[in-house]
Amino acid sequence: MLQRNEDAGHLTRYETTLRRLAGRGRLRGLSESGGIDFSSNDYLGLAGDGRVAEALQAAIARGVPIGAGGSRLLRGNDPEHLALEAEAAAFFGAQRALYFGSGFVANYALLACLPHRADLVVLDDLVHASCHDGAGATRAEVAFARHNDANAFEDAILAWRKRGGTGCPWLVVESLYSMDGDRAPLDALIDVADRHDGFLIVDEAHATGVFGPDGRGLAADFEGRDNVVVVHTCGKALGASGALVCLSPVLADYLVNRSRPFIYATAPSPLMAAAVREALQVLKDEPQRRDRLNGMMSQMAQGLAALGRPSTGSQIQPVIIGDAEATMGCAAALQARGYDIRGIRPPTVPEGTSRLRISLTLNADEAAVAGLLSALAETLDGPGR
Ligand SMILES: Cc1ncc(COP(=O)(O)O)c(C=O)c1O
């Protein structure tokens, strides 16, 4: 056993890092949330929804277990997972769907497993951390493309071919960017993928449930194609957790056989699968949720235009402040007025682009949006903002 003083020595390097972060105003901590929700990704208000809760009670009553008890490949393959995957594939128009424990793991697993050594992975500069980490685990070469620039993806592929690249390119994007609220040029990207015999991976984390027919996402037109893999995370508009990866049967079977995070992990809770099944049903049955959220998006866009601020036309609305400290000051001022708005700083966003990330959800209402807009008008009036 280590002595106390040796223990302290082992911790020094971590303490040094934490002190350095604090010195740069970058130390993060876990705090309880409070105030009107303008920061969660529970866009349709399903996380605390009565209908989903009732579906869970019914699932418990029919004996659906809390825990899977093992990997999907062993005892953990519950009928609830299979039912969810069949329903999700039908709903999204995919050939197959595989349910992962989280969106982070799904993105990581796809990129760590599918591209081969001779392939090229091209990431949009602003794609989620889980894709960066997955690309860090791939055996393929990795390149980056300027945000939302389909030509930059093509240039990366051409440069790689010129260097002798022989495999397939994998283009990796979000359909609606989590910190910027802007949309990927999916038509142009699929065109690049098609012309270069490549694959397109689309992370629909922030579009699933909100955009597309029945809330099927922005990539709905491309689902079912052999060279498209779509990730629908379930912890955002679907109000639950996990991720449904929609893909071809060959790639699904390959993941089941080769993806270490899929194989060597306890399967997601079957009860969570039951919650996601109900959430998908809500998407079909209750379009009024999307309509209301759309109304709030328009209200926010008009209010921001009046403040001379650009708007994204989505439920994710960044208000760029630039300086990290000023951003956190604005966020604190809004929080003090009862609005749960978070400041986002580097490294989550590029240096000099610290921002308030406003997300619109049905946990707030039109009156709250109006209140927030007036509070923003006063708060953004401060020096340097
Ligand atoms: C774009 C994007 N992809 C993936 C994830 C990870 O999904 P999950 O929260 O289900 O792990 C997130 C979550 O922040 C995200 O914003």
Range name among 163-167, 184-188, 211-215, 307-311 with the lowest pLDDT average: 307-311
Cα separation, 183 vs 55, whole angstroms: 33
| Residue 2 predicted with pLDDT over 80 | no
28-66: pLDDT as tens digits: 888 888 999 999 999 999 999 999 999 999 999 999 999
| Residue 143 predicted with pLDDT over 70 | yes
How far, CA to CA in Å, does 95 sit from each of 161, 234, 245, 281, 301? 31, 19, 11, 19, 37
Rg value, the chain, Cα: 22
Nearest CA to ligand 1 atom 9: 103
Cα of 139 from ligand 1 centre, angstroms: 23
User: With contact defined as beta carbons under 8 Å apart, do 229 and 110 qualify?
Assistant: yes
344-376: pLDDT as tens digits: 999 889 899 999 999 999 999 999 999 999 999
pLDDT given for residue 385 in this prediction: 56
369-378: pLDDT as tens digits: 999 999 999 9
| Residue 1 predicted with pLDDT over 60 | no
Which active-site residues does the annotation give? Answer: 41, 128, 174, 178, 203, 206, 236
Residues 315-342, buried b or exposed e (16+ Cβ, 10 A)?
bbbbbbbeebebbbbbbebbbebebbbb
Ligand 1: which of 104, 124, 218, 314 to mutate, most ligand atoms within 8 Å of CB?
Answer: 104
User: With contact defined as beta carbons under 8 Å apart, do 266 and 68 qualify?
Assistant: yes
118-138: pLDDT as tens digits: 999 999 999 999 999 999 999
User: Which is more confidently placed, 346 or 230?
Assistant: 230
Q: Region 85-90: what's the mean pLDDT?
A: 98
> What percent of the chain lies above the pLDDT cut of 90?
90
What one-letter code names the amino acid at 379? T
Residues with CB under 6 A from ligand 1: 102-104, 107, 128, 130, 174, 178, 203, 205, 233, 235, 243
How far is Cα of residue 180 from the mean position of the Cα atoms in its chain?
A: 12
pLDDT given for residue 31 in this prediction: 83
Q: Is the pTM of this model over 0.85?
A: yes
Q: Region 245-264: what's the mean pLDDT?
A: 98
Cα of 61 from ligand 1 centre, angstroms: 31
Domains of the chain, each with CATH number or no CATH = 32-45+287-380 (3.90.1150.10), 64-284 (3.40.640.10)
269-307: pLDDT as tens digits: 999 999 999 999 999 999 999 999 999 999 999 999 999
Q: Residues, the chain, total? A: 385
Atom of ligand 1 nearest to the CA of 107: 4
pLDDT band at 384 (very low <50, low <70, confident <90, very high): very low
